[in-house]
Amino acid sequence: MARVKCVVEYDGSNYCGYQIQPNGKTVQEEIEKALKTMHKGKEVRIIASGRTDSGVHAKGQVFHFDTSLDVPENRWVRALETLMPSDIYVKSAEYVPEDFHAQFDVEEKEYRYYVKAAKTRDVFRRGMVFHYPRKLDVEKMLEAVKLFEGKHDFTAFCSAKTTLKGNKIRTISRAELNQHGDELEFIVRGDGFLYNMVRIMMGTLLEIGAGKKEIDTIPRALEEHNRRLAGFTTPGHGLFLWEVTY
């Protein structure tokens, strides 16, 4: 058996998330169906760096699987492309050591969130950008975003629905906000993320920009571990898992 590491991008609009579940189509299910066909009906389980929720997209999700097939490294991408829907694309595949693990070996992940801060909608980007039709003080948001960087307990920026019982301390190595016309791009990179963490961080920045919260909301929420101090949870469709590094 050999282990294969793949990088996949997908449009999550038509999926109930990445991870297989009883009711609803998922990205993992589609990839495993393609691999099952390649392995002549044999089940092949893939292990990803982590799951993405319903409507969330990926530019650089990583997964691995074990195979008994003798397929040249450069043939995997083409073979999988012919067997999968057009909104999922395996960008690269390579053989890796047997002890490589797509989930447990992750060093950092990068997420990006996109917001259109304008009165008018963009119908062609509606599944990729969150429309937030309010006037924003972007300068305040630029100041606030840097407060996420560093090692903090992000309990306040975690959904109450989380099943995680342990440590909620994470280290954010990069947090920045870029403005492109009426579109905002929030980039955040760290050694781990809690359930809905990026979406709550984005919601907090938007409420600061809209004048609903002050900049000191962020350090207060981090210090007090109080979910009510942080902002709302933005929708999933503006979020991208951008890159996973090992």
Do the bridges between strand 108-116 and strand 239-245 make them parallel or antiparallel, or are there none, so unpaired?
Answer: antiparallel
The whole-angstrom separation of Cα 80 and Cα 34 is 6
**pLDDT at residue 126 greater than cutoff 80:** yes
Residue at 228 is within a domain? yes
Residue at 57 is within a domain? yes
Residue at 101 is within a domain? no
Give residue-wise pLDDT tens across range 19-76.
999 889 999 999 999 999 999 999 999 999 999 999 999 999 999 999 999 999 989 9
**pLDDT at residue 92 greater than cutoff 90:** yes
Q: Domain with 209 in it: what CATH number?
A: 3.30.70.660
Alpha helices in the chain (DSSP H): 27-38, 76-81, 138-145, 197-209, 217-224
The whole-angstrom separation of Cα 92 and Cα 34 is 15
Residue closest to 167 by CA, chosen among 234, 217, 239, 225: 225
pLDDT at 31 (0 to 100): 98
Q: Is the same domain home to 179 and 201?
A: yes
What percent of the chain shows pLDDT beyond 70?
99
The whole-angstrom separation of Cα 200 and Cα 147 is 14
Ranges 56-65, 116-125, 139-148, 166-175: which has the least confidence: 116-125
Environment class of 124 (CB within 10 Å of its CB; exposed 0-12, middle 13-18, buried 19+): exposed
Q: Is the same domain home to 113 and 34?
A: no
The whole-angstrom separation of Cα 161 and Cα 194 is 11
**pLDDT at residue 235 greater than cutoff 80:** yes
Binding-site residues, please?
A: 111
Do the bridges between strand 108-116 and strand 150-153 make them parallel or antiparallel, or are there none, so unpaired?
Answer: unpaired
Q: Is the same domain home to 213 and 183?
A: yes
pLDDT at 111 (0 to 100): 99
Residue at 148 is within a domain? yes
SS3 237: helix
Q: Which of 96, 117, 132 is the last residue of a domain?
A: 96
**pLDDT at residue 164 greater than cutoff 90:** no
Number of domains into which the chain is organized:
2
Identify the DSSP state of 147: G
Residue at 202 is within a domain? yes
Would you name the residues annotated as active-site residues? 53
Strand-pair partners of 71 = none
> What's the rounded mean pLDDT across residues 134-146?
97
Q: Which of 30, 63, 96 is the last residue of a domain?
A: 96
**pLDDT at residue 165 greater than cutoff 80:** no
The whole-angstrom separation of Cα 218 and Cα 224 is 10
Q: Is the same domain home to 30 and 134?
A: no
pLDDT at 161 (0 to 100): 77
pLDDT at 66 (0 to 100): 98
Q: Is the same domain home to 83 and 175?
A: no
Q: Is the same domain home to 25 and 85?
A: yes
Q: Is the same domain home to 193 and 117?
A: yes
Q: Which of 71, 96, 121 is the last residue of a domain?
A: 96
Residue at 103 is within a domain? no
pLDDT band at 123 (very low <50, low <70, confident <90, very high): confident
Q: Is the same domain home to 39 and 90?
A: yes
Q: Domain with 29 in it: what CATH number?
A: 3.30.70.580
Which structural domain, as residue segments, surrounds residue 177?
Answer: 108-245
Q: Is the same domain home to 70 and 8?
A: yes
What percent of the chain shows pLDDT beyond 90?
91
The whole-angstrom separation of Cα 223 and Cα 53 is 28
pLDDT at 59 (0 to 100): 98
Mean pLDDT score across all residues of the chain:
96
Q: Is the same domain home to 87 and 167?
A: no
Residue at 102 is within a domain? no
Binding-site residues for substrate, please?
A: 111
> What's the rounded mean pLDDT across residues 12-18?
97
Q: Is the same domain home to 54 and 152?
A: no
Q: Is the same domain home to 188 and 120?
A: yes
Residue at 143 is within a domain? yes
